Amino acid sequence: MNVYRAVVPFRIENPKSRLSSVLSPEERTMLARLLLKNAVGCLENAGIRKIDILSKTPLSLPEMMISSPPETSLSLLIDDRDLNTAVNAYLEKQTDPILILMTDLPLVTGDILRRICDTASDICIAPGRGGGTNILKIDRPDIFRVRYHGQSFLNHKKQASENGLSFEVFDSFFAGADLDEPDDIAEILIHGNGPVRDFLSDIFRTDDSNGCLRAQVSARKRCAKNDAQKVTQKTADKKRHTKNSRQKTTHKKQDTKTVCKCTKTVYEKQYGKNSTGKTVTASYAQSRQKNRNRSGQKETGNSGSVRKNKKPGSAASSWPGSSSLGRELDPWPPAYQAGAIPLSHRGIF
């Protein structure tokens, strides 16, 4: 038997995402750690003493380091690239035969891994359901490259044929039972044992009836779906409320502009404009009239006529007096007197 070195690809960020309908993020993270610990234990039971964990991010492995035998070399390798690129870069550096083991195989045992390593072929694959690759033995890592995802079993079979490597399939129910979908939980609880099964049985409390378990899994999926729908509805309501608020603000601004424009037009018709071209307001006209009354000055309007200011106390000079156009000003424009423009908008331009 060759001395094999094992590599275990592992991801701790959002692990087992296809189980999110029945497990919370915290539960999926705990499950991923238990699956990794189970995989390392199976490799140790198979007699493999060089184990590399290939992770995208730094990872703390105190439990596995403590439980591993002293002769086991457990290393953590960091590579943030995709699975195929990271594993192929790892294979390029190896000279020993390699065993690639996925972590989502809670039913696999050390005896199964030992039998895979004992096969005489250059390449041995334990296929997963749906055409995947769960376990891959590579005796020539210098010329073989992996192509995971999709129907990777066919990809690896073709890769072995193109490189002139002998090929063998290891058909095993326990090696093929990967934990990816909610329906896979039933198989683990029925056939499994150890920490992974104990963890799942605490969540899905059930008897020996498979139907009872599936009912609980379906109930969890419905609850998760309802929660997602509630979040979606809440988000939609919030967006609709924000849109309505913006529309109300826009309409309010438009109404204010309309009132200001209307008020400005009334003042222009009533009082005209001053020398700078600005609309003369009632307060402005009143202020100018008071100054003229105090100084006793004469002012020529646009009509060219010269008019003397009335003495204080007279009916014409009580307020507002005459404007720059030489016309007598009323206390408020006719539009205000008729109630067409609310007083709250007076003087706003």
72-115 pLDDT per residue, tens = 888 999 999 999 999 999 999 999 999 999 999 999 999 999 99
Whether the model clears a pTM of 0.85, i.e. scores above it, the answer is no
- The pLDDT tens digits for 290-346 are 777 766 654 444 444 444 444 444 444 444 444 444 444 445 555 555 555 555 554
Q: Say if CB 54 and CB 77 are below 8 A apart.
A: yes
Strands 50-55 and 73-78 come out as parallel
Average pLDDT of span 24-32: 92
Please state the domain extents for the chain: 5-205
Tokens (6 digits) for 129: 């359901």
Tell me the β-bridge partners of 100.
Answer: 7, 136
Residues 173-222 pLDDT 10s: 999 999 999 889 989 999 999 999 999 988 886 555 444 555 566 566 55
Using CA atoms, how far apart are residues 175 and 184, in angstroms rounded to an integer? 13
Tally the residues of the chain. Answer: 349
d(CA 197, CA 320): 94
User: How do beta strands 123-127 and 167-169 pair?
Assistant: parallel
Measured between alpha carbons, how far is 305 from 287 in angstroms, rounded to an integer?
21
pLDDT band at 64 (very low <50, low <70, confident <90, very high): low
* Residue carrying structure tokens 């009132």: 259
Q: In this structure, are residues 35 and 28 in contact, taking their beta carbons and an 8 Å threshold?
A: no
Looking at per-residue pLDDT, the higher value among 245 and 140 belongs to 140
User: What pLDDT is attached to residue 262?
Assistant: 62
State pLDDT tens for residues 225-235. Answer: 666 666 777 77
pLDDT, position 327: 45
Residue 268 has pLDDT above 50, yes or no: yes
pLDDT of residue 293: 73
pLDDT tens, position by position, 141-182: 999 999 998 889 999 999 999 999 999 999 999 999 999 998
DSSP state at residue 324: T
Question: Band of the pLDDT at 243, cuts 50, 70, 90?
Answer: confident
110: left (phi over 0), alpha (psi -120 to 50) or beta: alpha
Backbone φ and ψ for 6, nearest 5 degrees, come out as -110, 145
Residue 68, SS3 per DSSP? coil
Rounded CA separation 318/297 (Å): 17
CATH class of 5-205: alpha beta
Nearest Cα residue to 271 out of 285, 259, 257, 260:
285
The dihedral sign for the CA sequence 144, 146, 147, 152: positive
- Which residue would you say has higher pLDDT here, 136 or 23? 136
Alpha helices in the chain (DSSP H): 25-45, 62-67, 83-92, 110-117, 152-162, 173-176, 184-191, 195-203, 210-271, 282-295, 334-337
Q: At 271, list the tokens.
A: 């009082």
